[in-house]
Amino acid sequence: MELLIWIGSILSILGLVGLFWCVKNVLKAKKSAVSDEELRSSLQKVVPLNMASLFLSATGLMLVILGIML
């Protein structure tokens, strides 16, 4: 079950990297956006990646907990 913990840790780290990338892109979009519509379109591109990163991180944490319990 140690392998399950390592796989979960890797998935969680990848999810966190994705979340930090999304935050970086949103801050960059806020600084460079001229209009509200431009900001809205750039944020809509980040939302699916943000949700995927959250899912990946949560799945990794579930695998870690499962590996610890088993």
Binned at pLDDT 50, 70 and 90, residue 32 comes out as confident
Give the integer Cα–Cα distance in Å for 56 and 16.
Answer: 9
Give the integer Cα–Cα distance in Å for 24 and 62.
Answer: 26
Provide the whole-model pTM. Answer: 0.82
pLDDT at 47: 93
**What's the rounded mean pLDDT across residues 23-32?**
89
**What's the rounded mean pLDDT across residues 9-28?**
94
**What's the rounded mean pLDDT across residues 33-50?**
86
Could you give phi then psi for residue 33, rounded to 5 degrees? -75, 130
**Residue partners of 35: CB distance under 8 A and separation at least 6:** none
Lowest mean pLDDT among 31-35, 49-53, 60-64: 31-35
Domain spans of the chain, in order of start: 2-69
| CB of 49 closer than 8 Å to CB of 21 | yes
